A and B are shown apart, each in its own frame.
Chain A
Amino acid sequence: MVTLNDLSIILPEIILACGAVVVMLLIALYRNHFISNLLTLITFAVAMAVLVGQSNSQQEVTALFMVDPLGIFLTGLILCAAFIITLMSFPYFHIQKEVKEEYYILLILATLGAVCMSISNHFISFVLSLELLSVSLFALIGYLKKENISVEAAVKYLIMAAVATSFILFGFALIYTSTGRMDLQGLGENLKGGDPDILVLAGLALAIVGFGFKMALVPFHLWTPDIYSAAPAPVAAFVATISKGAAFVFLLRFFYSIGGLEHESIWIAFAVIATASMFIGNWLGLRQQNIKRLIAYSSISHLGYLMVGFLAFSEAGIRASAFYLVIYFAGILAAFGMIAYLSGRKGEPVMIEDYRGLFWSKPWLAAFFTLVMLSLAGIPFTAGFMGKFYVLTSGMGAGKIFLLIVLVLSSTIGLFYYLRVVATMLSRADTATTIEDYIGKQSFALKIIVAALFILLLWLGVYPNTFFAMMGM
């Protein structure tokens, strides 16, 4: 029975749903890119305001949702990221010839899916929000439908996501067959302690495959670079941050509540996936000439680092993962924000060569981009280092030294390509391409985003205390 109190707890989600409807109706009445964008921003802002006002306690809303501190935190993070992506989208799509307004409906719906996923407490709610997210993303990725490459990417994502979902569904079905439960609490009671039977193990294995697709962990990562390089920069940012973050949180909730990591074979499976993601992600990044593909491989390795926090299987591990997600969101959003900033009517500057000599023509932008790269690489005094430090600490606390050494070694490999971008910006060859006609020049919103992320990346790296306090750690 849903009570009024229950509704008030999931008010942010309800606001998002209403926002999508409002934007849709408005488009029917009056088509205007600016107003659609503004309404979307307001929707996210109101949802965020409601969220901030909520109590930070654990509350169950029917069997389907569980609003707990982790869920609230992730909801807030996702809403902030969605807000930034919306801001970023306005100048980016304003110069496109496509019909723009429907983009925002899809964006709100995808965000709604992600938010619901992060508070899901039941297989049904998870699968529904997963589908809401994925279906919106198919359309978003192929939104610039005149670009063949975008449509190709959308189809690719459609097939991959469908396969992943079917793996997850089949896995869930097997687990249900064995235990007769679909809510995480019930599963936890059923599975904790004893050895899970073969059906449950098979189900978990299938689910891991599905989650691996969603989070682009090696060896299920193959779609990532294609999708990132073909999708519009704001959408790529969405796929890289929000969609992965939401999937990760459900994974965390799922495996922590059924105590899955206590089972050695499952732990090892995840450890292998994490190790492979760290190494292969960084390794494949080495030869990339396309900056969006480079970020794709970087994000694969970052998800690997995130898994180290997950594998610590402790309270500190959850906190470290949550903090790392913030850092990761900030870094990836900043990177894609930079690409959006410098894109123009001729398209996005996707090749690393496009940035040659940027340090001398646009020193502030280059300084910002250098900071982003150093943060992704995890150099001290940037946010990336604090995140890595937190994950390392949680791993060391849990005694998983092997994973930590893998993390350190692989992140050094990653340093190669981050430095390559920086060195390219620093070099002053005669062939330096000048990016003249770019949208960031006029867009106040983009300037604000870039400045805000610049400050955030430094602030989290130098003095994260206030942030820890805000997170309520």
Chain B
Amino acid sequence: MILITLLAILMGGGILAWISAAFSKTASRWISLLALIINLFLVIGIWVAQGAALSVGENANWIASVNYDWIPDFGISFHLAMDGISLVMLALTFFLGILSVLVSWKNVNRNVGFFHFNVLWLLAGITGVFLAMDMMLFYFFWEIMLVPMYFVMVIWGHENSRYAGWKFFLFTQISGLMMLLSIIALYFYHGAATGNYTFNYFELLDNIPGGAASFWMMGGFLLAFFVKLPVIPFHSWLPEAYAESPSAGSIIIAALMSKTAAYGLIRFVVPLFPDAAHQFAIPALILGSASILYGAKLSYGQRNLKRLIAYSSLSHMGFIIVGVFSFNMLAFQGVLFQMVAHGLSIAALFIISEFIYERIGTLDLREMGGFWKSMPNMGGFTLVFVMASLGLPGLANFVAEFLILAGAWQFNAVLAALATLGLIVSVTYSLRILQKIFHQSPPVPERNPVDFNPREWLVMGCLTIAIIWLGFFPQVVIKVAQPAFDKMEIQPAGSDPEVAGITATNSFLFTNGTIENSQKEGEVW
């Protein structure tokens, strides 16, 4: 029931925010902020209660679930369930949701009500994706994210946003439809084999497809997830969409929407198509490593701050692919942690770019420079997140990337080494952000933007605390999601003896406390 409450608060809050804007713009802002804060507290409440439940063991896997019939003629149900992974992602969603409302507090002045309606419904779609346990329901939420996102992008975006919105919508729509074909194929495959025509995730897991069919079905899912993540060569919508969106849109699309794809890989692709996924592992790792390096290169070459950040996201998302397709516990933990850490750091960078844009009215890096003098506070915060982006130990991103690379190393050392290069090249573009904005000699008409106000302090302060705290105590997140991973690890073992061996090694490593070690390393540094 709590799950429906979460969705209802967002959707109801969205409608309320829209209506209330007719009377007062501020009311609309407060309503959406309040809705998100309530949701965050609900999730934290579950998280805290979950701490006790974890020790119970087996039953702790699914924290909450609801299941109603929706379209029984097709075996479609309204089935939501939450496990540790969903919990972590929801906390991230609401946290960043609050920040994106706060960031838009001043700079969204047109149609405030409709803006907050869209933001809240967008977040509701994302929440739904993290909770849906029925394939059709998942698809519905997956697609429903698009429409509000399109509106946010086109109405409140920068000059070229119409084109960006178009491209974004088409890329995601066509890949989504391919996933729909896969889902329907899965439905018939399962129905033909068992006589039970259903879209229920758990029932589908009972009889997972094999052979060439599973490869094609997985293809549809992969296409949808690779486009949204994105991975080379499906990334061409990314720079426009990220750069042309208003700041709230950029935060949500980069920090949350791309995570729905990563979540989809862990939740659906690996358990439903274990054999096919294993066969696809090497190409996927190559794609992932290529994304890491190519994204870093493109990022380094950008003049527009938001585009620079956008390409850095492409680079970081490569790590997620590498992690997912390494098929071991360490890498999976790393992927989950990367979803959180990257969500925080990319959101922070976009927020900084927004603050700069508000002050000087441009995102062109050549127009910036020497801002450290006038805005030391902003400079300090930027430094933290630039360091996070380049993977400085002690910050959350380091833990995530370390875990992924450690996992990938066991799977394929060569490609892991290639991916590791990403950590080095990330230094180049990350430091370039700092250098261009704050240290290079100022442009001819010297600008002296004012430093942070309390609202901006609040936003950046929250993010900084979160990213440092997670850098030192990654266990907080990993422990919550661990039961879910434990359960999942049972699935892909099975047929392939070599793979089973790897899995066994990992769980051995894991029980020997690699995680604890890495955490300690973080602390030592």
Contact A419 B73, beta carbon cutoff 8 Å: no
Which chain B residue shows the least CB distance to A427? B162
Interface majority SS on A: helix, strand, loop or mixed?
A: helix
Bound together, the chains give a CA A401 to CA B143 distance in angstroms of 22
Q: With A379-B143, A423-B162, A473-B73 given, is the CB distance from A389 to B170 under 8 Å? A: no
**Chain B contacts of A416 at CB under 8 A?**
166, 170
Interface residues of A in 396-453 (CB under 8 A from B): 396-397, 401, 404-405, 408-409, 411-412, 415-416, 419, 423, 426-427
Contact B154 A412, beta carbon cutoff 8 Å: no
Partner pick for B180 among A374, A389, A401, CB 8 A cutoff: A389
Interface residues of B in 323-357 (CB under 8 A from A): none
Bound together, the chains give a CA A468 to CA B111 distance in angstroms of 39
Partner pick for B165 among A381, A409, A412, A423, CB 8 A cutoff: A423
**Chain B contacts of A5 at CB under 8 A?**
none
Bound together, the chains give a CA A426 to CA B184 distance in angstroms of 34
Contact A381 B140, beta carbon cutoff 8 Å: yes
Q: With A380-B144, A404-B181 given, is the CB distance from A393 to B74 under 8 Å? A: yes
Q: Is B185 an interface residue (CB 8 A)?
A: yes
**Chain B contacts of A405 at CB under 8 A?**
181
Contact A419 B71, beta carbon cutoff 8 Å: no
**Chain B contacts of A347 at CB under 8 A?**
none
Bound together, the chains give a CA A393 to CA B177 distance in angstroms of 13
Q: Is A392 an interface residue (CB 8 A)?
A: yes
Contact A392 B180, beta carbon cutoff 8 Å: yes
Which chain B residue shows the least CB distance to A461? B140
**Chain B contacts of A401 at CB under 8 A?**
181
Interface majority SS on B: helix, strand, loop or mixed?
A: helix
Chain A contributes a number of interface residues (CB within 8 A of B) equal to 29
**Chain B contacts of A374 at CB under 8 A?**
147
Q: Is B139 an interface residue (CB 8 A)?
A: yes
**Chain B contacts of A186 at CB under 8 A?**
none
Q: Is B151 an interface residue (CB 8 A)?
A: yes
Q: Is A57 an interface residue (CB 8 A)?
A: no
Q: Is A3 an interface residue (CB 8 A)?
A: no
Contact A412 B184, beta carbon cutoff 8 Å: no
Contact B178 A408, beta carbon cutoff 8 Å: yes
**Chain A contacts of B174 at CB under 8 A?**
408-409, 412
Contact B140 A380, beta carbon cutoff 8 Å: yes
Contact B154 A423, beta carbon cutoff 8 Å: yes
Which chain A residue shows the least CB distance to B136? A389
Contact B71 A464, beta carbon cutoff 8 Å: yes
**Chain A contacts of B44 at CB under 8 A?**
none
Contact A419 B169, beta carbon cutoff 8 Å: yes
**Chain B contacts of A408 at CB under 8 A?**
174, 177-178, 180-181
**Chain A contacts of B72 at CB under 8 A?**
465
Contact A415 B147, beta carbon cutoff 8 Å: no
**Chain B contacts of A411 at CB under 8 A?**
177
Q: With A380-B143, A381-B144 given, is the CB distance from A396 to B184 under 8 Å? A: yes
Interface residues of A in 350-405 (CB under 8 A from B): 360, 374, 379-381, 385, 389, 392-393, 396-397, 401, 404-405
Taking the nearest CB of chain A, how far is it from the CB of B263, in angstroms?
19
Q: Is B173 an interface residue (CB 8 A)?
A: yes
Bound together, the chains give a CA A411 to CA B111 distance in angstroms of 31
Which chain A residue shows the least CB distance to B151? A426
Q: Is B19 an interface residue (CB 8 A)?
A: no
Bound together, the chains give a CA A454 to CA B187 distance in angstroms of 31
Contact A412 B151, beta carbon cutoff 8 Å: no
Which chain B residue shows the least CB distance to A380? B143
Q: Is B188 an interface residue (CB 8 A)?
A: yes
Partner pick for B170 among A396, A397, A412, CB 8 A cutoff: A412
Taking the nearest CB of chain B, how far is it from the CB of A282, in angstroms?
12
Taking the nearest CB of chain B, how far is it from the CB of A428, in angstroms?
8
Partner pick for B71 among A409, A423, A426, A465, CB 8 A cutoff: A465
Partner pick for B173 among A397, A412, A426, CB 8 A cutoff: A412
Partner pick for B166 among A385, A397, A419, CB 8 A cutoff: A419
Q: With A380-B140, A397-B188, A408-B178 given, is the CB distance from A415 to B73 under 8 Å? A: no
Contact B139 A392, beta carbon cutoff 8 Å: no
Contact A415 B162, beta carbon cutoff 8 Å: no
Contact B147 A379, beta carbon cutoff 8 Å: yes
Contact A415 B170, beta carbon cutoff 8 Å: yes
Taking the nearest CB of chain B, how far is it from the CB of A454, in angstroms?
16
**Chain A contacts of B71 at CB under 8 A?**
463-465, 468
Bound together, the chains give a CA A461 to CA B315 distance in angstroms of 38
Q: With A379-B146, A379-B147 given, is the CB distance from A426 to B73 under 8 Å? A: no
Taking the nearest CB of chain A, how far is it from the CB of B45, in angstroms?
30
Which chain B residue shows the least CB distance to A377? B173
**Chain A contacts of B151 at CB under 8 A?**
426
**Chain B contacts of A397 at CB under 8 A?**
188
Interface residues of A in 52-106 (CB under 8 A from B): none
**Chain B contacts of A404 at CB under 8 A?**
181
Q: Is B155 an interface residue (CB 8 A)?
A: yes
**Chain A contacts of B185 at CB under 8 A?**
396
- Counting chain A CB atoms within 10 Å of each CB, the highest count among B143, B151, B184 belongs to B184
Bound together, the chains give a CA A401 to CA B73 distance in angstroms of 22
**Chain A contacts of B147 at CB under 8 A?**
374, 379
- Counting chain B CB atoms within 10 Å of each CB, the highest count among A381, A404, A419, A427 belongs to A419
Partner pick for A393 among B139, B146, B178, B184, CB 8 A cutoff: B184
**Chain A contacts of B169 at CB under 8 A?**
415, 419
Bound together, the chains give a CA A405 to CA B174 distance in angstroms of 10
Taking the nearest CB of chain B, how far is it from the CB of A91, in angstroms?
29
**Chain A contacts of B166 at CB under 8 A?**
416, 419, 423
Interface residues of B in 42-94 (CB under 8 A from A): 70-74
**Chain B contacts of A385 at CB under 8 A?**
143
28 inter-chain pairs at a CB distance below 8 angstroms, sorted by A residue, are A380-B139, A381-B140, A396-B184, A396-B187, A397-B188, A408-B174, A408-B178, A408-B180, A408-B181, A412-B174, A415-B169, A415-B170, A415-B173, A416-B166, A416-B170, A419-B150, A419-B166, A419-B169, A423-B154, A423-B165, A463-B70, A463-B71, A464-B71, A465-B70, A465-B71, A465-B72, A468-B71, A468-B73
Residues of A within 8 A of B (CB): 360, 374, 379-381, 385, 389, 392-393, 396-397, 401, 404-405, 408-409, 411-412, 415-416, 419, 423, 426-427, 463-465, 468, 473
Given contacts A412-B173, A419-B150, 8 further A-B contacts (CB under 8 A): A380-B144, A397-B188, A408-B174, A416-B170, A423-B166, A427-B162, A465-B71, A468-B71
CB-CB nearest 10 A-B residue pairs: A412-B174, A408-B177, A380-B143, A396-B184, A380-B140, A468-B73, A396-B188, A423-B162, A393-B184, A426-B154
